[in-house]
Structure 1
Amino acid sequence: MSIPTDWLRNFFTEDNQIDLDRVLSLTNPYDPKFQDLLKPLISSAIEGKWPLLLPVSRDGELYFYGAERDERSLEELRQILQAVLGAADTYPEFPLIKVAREKIEQILLQQAPAGLLKVDLLRQSQSDFALRKRVFQALASVLDLYQQRPPVTAVVKRPVGRILRDFFAACQSRDGSKASHFFDELKTTGNFSQRNLISLELQAWEAERRWSDILGHPRLVDMLGGRMPAQLVRVLLRAIGNLGGDSLLEPPAFGEVPLEHIRLLCQPISPLFANRPPLETRECFAPDWKLWAIGAGALGFSDGLDGLPDFIDPAWICRLHDWANLPTKTPVAPTIAPIPSLQKVESPQTFNDLRLVLEGSLSASMEELREIWVAVQEAPEELRNELYVYPRLQSVWQGICQIFDGSRELGWKGWLERLKEASADPDALIHELQEESQSWSIESFSEALLSQCLHGDASTSLLLRDSLPLLLDWLDRREILCSGHFWLEWLELLALDDLVNPSDVQLAGQIVQRFLSRPSQIGNRARLGESLELLWEKGGSVSAYSEMLEIVELLLDETQPGQQELRKLWLVLQGFALSRWTRLELAQRVLTKSLAREIFGESNEASYPPLSAEGRDADLDVQTRKLSGRLLAIYSLTEGAARRAKTVLEGMFEGLRVELNHDHTATPALQNLAKKANYFLFVAGSAKHQAFYPVSRIRQDLIYPLGKGASSIIEAFCKSCVNFSSE
């Protein structure tokens, strides 16, 4: 037998009365009748086999944890366990644990982040050795079944577009764990270049808030040596911002951040600040421009600061010069100065000349690129033919040609035209969107043209669904508003997909939010409700339940007519919740009953079973005692969601005090709350920067939920609450 890993030893050391050393011992083992039951489960885990089925014995109680590598495999394990165990010796429902309630679960969740299944024995089974033996043997038989399966059944690759859809949906919702999981899946497809994989990995790390790791990525130098995509530039700038640069976005803060600190952050990525960045000169990108200017100033690249866009406050630029010890500038409103063109590019006559010109193009402006394109076009054809031997230089030249030779229309318009072509390659189109869309101009976007494509054939519809997270991100960054009818058509397209998973429910929530923010007809509300019912019918699951509750909250809080559709949708969800009540987290159960009261009134509460199964949430008492007397501050502009979260959390943790704040700016009341609260939960998706920066300067331990609804707020606090309480 192999040597057990550290995490497995910790699992059997932490509050688990099963002695791993005795199970493995040849001289002092357990009684054979116990040893024979324990060894199959434990030896399988030691050998690194999946699934994991591990026993825990504590205070005379026996139970088991089941774990798998991903959510789909975990759901399959649940079905197999239910078929093998039945209901004679164990409870038929196995609660899904995604948030550790105790140290032993935390140890196991680090190995299996998809979640744990808890197998509890019935009360009579706990004291009857024959019944306990039957459960052990049944679990051992499950492991045997897995070992007998042909290996080919585990090697099923999903379409690249579908994985990218899930990946960017996770990135957009800042769910770092899921983003990293989908990135690992993307790596196995073999469809991406090394540069593209580095860019995707950095975006996954951004979702995980791994800011220092982003700036220290071992392969980042490969990206800095080429023409950097706009998306990657923004990731690097946001890393600088979150490590201290954001504090300098307002003039009064320059005295609070040491110049040397920012300089050290920027030095590893100094090529980024040596040339004008590929950022659009629109005011919605002002924070990105300021962060670039901060980096350029900290490194002494003062020339680039002369051409900042005119929406950057001249007084702020003067403060930046003073802070970075740069030559003093007269505080006059700057204009966008054209970047002086390099000396006219001569047509290369040797291959070495051609190589130098193309390598220089990687840091060239658009005007300089056009000169390079003309010069290389005039070079002898045999020189250009030699590029085929050098794939990197050939790729650089092809990229320049695509910009200037007119062979391919750029932007959204060109992409949608290629989408409609019968010979279109889906993988090539989704790669183009993923790599280039953040550089596409606003002028290239047409809501009407995109709406026409929503009614295309099956392959077009599939590709558009895969493009949705990238489209949402592109529109959000440019603050572009589309009509309610446009978003309704998108929701219907999403609901018509053959396979709906939790990522799609999360995307549906973003669509509903945009739909509700625009005027719409009452008839469209009925279509909205029907689409959501169809979406849930296809993709309803325990893992997607929280996302659907957030959609319900959006419908509940909006002021326009539509409550009849909400009630119909809630009845569908209520049936789902009641059929899986014991599989829901306690917070989900409490929030479900709270929403039911708001939608149907107090009388509806009688439709639901008790919140807790007998003894199932007893460990909550420990958390409640630790949180009693503590103060949680919740800052959110979504007042209804914050109010519901307060009600649920104060109900779950008796003695916990929750205070809410909805101020649009950093008022004295908000800043005082930030100073006195034990925990501060900041709903960043619904807040404005005027409030964020002052609060983040007061405390660096802000808790960020993944969404804006009560379920996201509650889940974020519960995860952090466990971490805080275990210190």
Structure 2
Amino acid sequence: MRADTGHWLERFFDGDNGLRWSALQDPTHPWSPQLLPWIALAKADDRDLPIILPRLEADDRPSWYCAGRSARGALRLHEALQAFIGPSYSDFDGRPYPLNADDPVEAAFAEDTVAPAYRIRASTPGDVRRIQRALELYCGLLERMPEQVRHGRRPLGALRAELDRAVAAGDEAEAGRLLEKIRGIGRLDAENLLYVHVGVRAGLGQWRELAEDGALLNQLIGLRLPPRVLADIHDALYRRYVEPSEDADAPEYALAAFRAAGLARRSTLFGSRRGLRGARVLKAFFLYELAREDQASTGLADLADELEGLDDTFAHALATLGRPTEASPPADPMDVADAAFDDLEIDRALDLYVQAPPSRKRLSRLIRCAEDVGTAEATKRVIDAIQPGDDAGNLPPSWAARLQALLEKCTADEDTRAPKGWLEWARRVEAGMGEDEAMSALREHMATWDPAELSGSKVQADELTGIINNASASAEPVFREAAPLLYQALIPESGAPPRRVKPLLQILVTKVAFLADPSQTELELARDMASTLLLIGLDAKEYEDLITDLEDLMGTQMSVFTLGWSLDLAELFAINPCPDPERRLRLVLRVTEAVRRLAHRLSPADAMVIEQLCRDYGIDCPAEIGQVETGRIDGAADALSGKSVGIYTLVEPAGQRAAALLYQICPTVRVELNSDHECTKALSHLARSADLFVFAWKSSKHQAFYCVKDHRDANNPMIQAQGKGTSSILRALLEFV
């Protein structure tokens, strides 16, 4: 216990707080039974336990102040408040409450807590007791919660891991909160915060925002961007300005779009490819070379070879635009190389310096190029290019040291150089690579790894699966942290991944199932992986194992927070092929039992979805569901009468089920669904014409988001559903109307 804990508590229960510290020590005080257990938790050494304390206003109306004492505790608290309190009988809507430093009571509360804080007030005087009872239940749960095993994690590493999971789950709001926490702890400088910001936007698919953020792009100019950041920026620019013009029958349209967007003028972004192999990066660099007035035939030929190696019809067509014949070498390669070097076109300068006559200046520039590119391939190329005329033996000491560093890098063993792929990285983790070093190497270098390494080779995928499945105690937490990044690497932009990666996905789900306290983002990640596995296809044994893992997640101590997640999960199994109906039914019965116990917290939308699920499975609906208040449904029927509703979701069955329930509420409503990935005529027309438009943003493409946003009337914006299932779509619409 911290020595000053009592001091700030005394100041909180003072001033204009109608509750007094001295009076609360008396167990007979009306507030003591509810409050003393929370005070005991506030004095505990476990910083992950939250603090919830009441303040009695002058009119005897209580307000509860809620906050965590650590980043992890704050995340748990937000989920708990939604589960135990929610908007049913309070004003809690999930938004943080800014504590006032000039208010002595709020200032005292801020002393031992971290942002965000929340303030809760009862909707009616009769709801005060309901909130007290809910908080008693929550406090009891915290008191019974076993102490968590600590692994000596630094706060920044823990937050980065949470951020990766939030991005992989598509949770934009949670990612934003975590990004602010990372900014707040002050461990990253402005440049590295910028890189994290770019990665979050890219991971969430906010390509248009990245491409059109001129201030951000200007900040990146002149920086030696990490490969992953460079890949994200090129992806964003290509998607926004060039990809809409891709046409395998007329590849010159893409070149015209590249020029029209002014991308050829952003030469600093094309200085070095840094070993990146992504299709959009290759196409962008090829177009940049084509757009140059002084095209480099060697660079074009090399890029054309790489384009032809892609499984991309347009890339093959684009490669034909390169000059068919070799251009003659420049009269003075050194002058041309110097010009390229001064323009920060490092890859091109390296090509030219290799061709230039030997000299000490040439060697110094080759060293600089190898350092800037940073790949093992560039380093080896420079070492191999050294000639006697470069006078390497008489370099000044500082340059000799830099050359020696390159020689050592070139001859380094596998344990000291950067890993070249997922499998090599996993082997090093299992061999003892530290957690921070492993995650740093992963985030920095994974953009340069061959995306086909896992999906294209069953042998490699099986070996990686075996390493993760049999991980040692030291490697286990690393693979857990890496799971979101690995999952993103396995999933193609369209369609299902190849069946050979199925065992790897199964292991990742099992890893999440073994967690003692899964966060909401980890649960969402498990649901997404389960959805992918069902899309690939499972036999009866694999299906049973998947359900067992998910039931383990439902049975964790945090299951009280996961009602909406459980409903989405039951729906997921209802709309996918089932090789074991009995096993699936047991899962659904487990969900309905949880629903029965929590019926008093259900929204009308949840109740309708549960009734729909019970009809799907041919089981009796819990009697408690019929007691859910339906006034909002009756009002929605009047509001929807004769209206048209557009629903955008990539989970088409969820949209269809939501439409069926809307017709049940109001037979005269008109519902149209859309799941187009791009801004098609159908999507833009629906966005313009629909009276109401629901956008399920967690199961969407941001290209579609911008299409809908651009075509909606400013006075009639889209309604954003917070989840992927039917209940989220229906709840968002009913709350709006």
Same fold (TM over 0.5): yes
| Counterpart for residue 524 of structure 1 | 542
Q: Shift in Å at residue 635 of structure 1?
A: 4.3
Q: State how 1:132-151 maps to structure 2 within 5 Å.
A: none
- Which one-letter code corresponds to 1:551 in the other structure? L
562-571 vs 341-350, which deviates more? 341-350
SS in 1 for 2:477: helix
1:676 matches 2:689: yes
- Which one-letter code corresponds to 1:610 in the other structure? Q
Q: Shift in Å at residue 467 of structure 1?
A: 0.8
| Counterpart for residue 26 of structure 1 | none
Q: Shift in Å at residue 542 of structure 1?
A: 5.8
Q: Indicate if the aligned counterparts of 2:91 and 2:123 stay in contact, CA closer than 8 A.
A: no
- Which one-letter code corresponds to 1:119 in the other structure? A
- Find the partner of 2:489 among 462, 470, 474: 474
User: In 2 relative to 1, CA 277–543 (structure 1 residues): closer, same or farther, beyond 3 Å?
Assistant: farther
SS in 1 for 2:574: helix
Q: State how 1:151-170 maps to structure 2 within 5 Å.
A: 161-170=157-166
Q: Indicate if the aligned counterparts of 1:215 and 1:268 stay in contact, CA closer than 8 A.
A: no
Q: Indicate if the aligned counterparts of 2:693 and 2:718 stay in contact, CA closer than 8 A.
A: yes
Q: Indicate if the aligned counterparts of 1:361 and 1:372 stay in contact, CA closer than 8 A.
A: no
User: In 2 relative to 1, CA 475–80 (structure 1 residues): closer, same or farther, beyond 3 Å?
Assistant: closer
- Which one-letter code corresponds to 1:520 in the other structure? L
| Counterpart for residue 235 of structure 1 | 232
- Alignment deviations for residues 240-278 of structure 1 (CA, whole Å, 9 cap, x no partner): 356555433458999999989986674885422455575
| Counterpart for residue 709 of structure 1 | 725
Aligned counterparts of 1:314 and 1:77: Cα–Cα separation in 2: 46
| Counterpart for residue 461 of structure 1 | 476
RMSD of aligned Cα (Å): 5.9
User: In 2 relative to 1, CA 404–192 (structure 1 residues): closer, same or farther, beyond 3 Å?
Assistant: farther
Aligned counterparts of 2:546 and 2:499: Cα–Cα separation in 1: 19
Identity rate, percent? 21
Q: Indicate if the aligned counterparts of 1:314 and 1:332 stay in contact, CA closer than 8 A.
A: no
Q: Shift in Å at residue 509 of structure 1?
A: 1.0
Aligned counterparts of 2:607 and 2:394: Cα–Cα separation in 1: 72
User: In 2 relative to 1, CA 662–371 (structure 1 residues): closer, same or farther, beyond 3 Å?
Assistant: closer
Q: State how 1:288-687 maps to structure 2 within 5 Å.
A: 289-290=282-283, 307-308=303-304, 309-310=307-308, 311=312, 313=314, 341-344=351-354, 354=364, 357-359=367-369, 361-363=371-373, 368-374=378-384, 386=398, 410-421=420-431, 423-442=432-451, 444-445=453-454, 446-453=460-467, 454-477=469-492, 479-538=497-556, 540-541=558-559, 543-601=561-619, 603-612=620-629, 621=635, 629-636=642-649, 638-649=651-662, 657-661=670-674, 673-680=686-693
Q: State how 1:182-197 maps to structure 2 within 5 Å.
A: 182-187=178-183, 196-197=192-193
Q: Shift in Å at residue 317 of structure 1?
A: 5.0
SS in 2 for 1:660: strand
User: In 2 relative to 1, CA 222–457 (structure 1 residues): closer, same or farther, beyond 3 Å?
Assistant: same
Q: Shift in Å at residue 429 of structure 1?
A: 0.7
373-382 vs 459-468, which deviates more? 373-382
Aligned counterparts of 2:160 and 2:698: Cα–Cα separation in 1: 22
| Counterpart for residue 119 of structure 1 | 122
Q: Shift in Å at residue 491 of structure 1?
A: 2.0
TM, length-normalised to structure 1: 0.65
- Gap regions ≥5 residues in structure 2: 1-15, 22-50, 97-113, 136-151, 327-346, 455-459
- Alignment deviations for residues 638-692 of structure 1 (CA, whole Å, 9 cap, x no partner): 4321112224456678975321246899997667545532455566887899999
Q: Indicate if the aligned counterparts of 2:89 and 2:127 stay in contact, CA closer than 8 A.
A: no
SS in 1 for 2:657: helix
Q: Indicate if the aligned counterparts of 1:632 and 1:680 stay in contact, CA closer than 8 A.
A: yes
Aligned counterparts of 2:396 and 2:638: Cα–Cα separation in 1: 74
1:180 matches 2:151: no
User: In 2 relative to 1, CA 188–314 (structure 1 residues): closer, same or farther, beyond 3 Å?
Assistant: closer
Aligned counterparts of 2:192 and 2:277: Cα–Cα separation in 1: 22
Q: Shift in Å at residue 428 of structure 1?
A: 0.6
- Which one-letter code corresponds to 1:517 in the other structure? L
Aligned counterparts of 2:66 and 2:605: Cα–Cα separation in 1: 22
SS in 1 for 2:579: coil
Equivalences, count: 613
Q: Indicate if the aligned counterparts of 1:229 and 1:278 stay in contact, CA closer than 8 A.
A: no
Q: Indicate if the aligned counterparts of 1:187 and 1:197 stay in contact, CA closer than 8 A.
A: yes
Aligned counterparts of 1:706 and 1:301: Cα–Cα separation in 2: 51
Aligned counterparts of 1:384 and 1:360: Cα–Cα separation in 2: 18
Q: Indicate if the aligned counterparts of 2:606 and 2:727 stay in contact, CA closer than 8 A.
A: yes
Q: Indicate if the aligned counterparts of 1:484 and 1:516 stay in contact, CA closer than 8 A.
A: no
655-664 vs 378-387, which deviates more? 378-387
TM, length-normalised to structure 2: 0.64
Aligned counterparts of 1:73 and 1:331: Cα–Cα separation in 2: 59
Q: Indicate if the aligned counterparts of 1:96 and 1:117 stay in contact, CA closer than 8 A.
A: yes
User: In 2 relative to 1, CA 462–257 (structure 1 residues): closer, same or farther, beyond 3 Å?
Assistant: closer
Aligned counterparts of 1:183 and 1:198: Cα–Cα separation in 2: 11
| Counterpart for residue 153 of structure 1 | none
- Which one-letter code corresponds to 1:420 in the other structure? E
Q: Indicate if the aligned counterparts of 2:585 and 2:617 stay in contact, CA closer than 8 A.
A: yes
Q: Indicate if the aligned counterparts of 1:636 and 1:682 stay in contact, CA closer than 8 A.
A: yes
- Which one-letter code corresponds to 1:232 in the other structure? V
- Which one-letter code corresponds to 1:414 in the other structure? E
Q: Indicate if the aligned counterparts of 2:658 and 2:729 stay in contact, CA closer than 8 A.
A: yes
User: In 2 relative to 1, CA 514–93 (structure 1 residues): closer, same or farther, beyond 3 Å?
Assistant: same
- Which one-letter code corresponds to 2:473 in the other structure? A
Q: Shift in Å at residue 473 of structure 1?
A: 1.0
User: In 2 relative to 1, CA 631–120 (structure 1 residues): closer, same or farther, beyond 3 Å?
Assistant: same
SS in 1 for 2:621: helix
Q: State how 1:265-276 maps to structure 2 within 5 Å.
A: 266=263, 269-273=266-270
- Gap regions ≥5 residues in structure 1: 1-34, 41-49, 101-110, 126-130, 140-155, 319-327
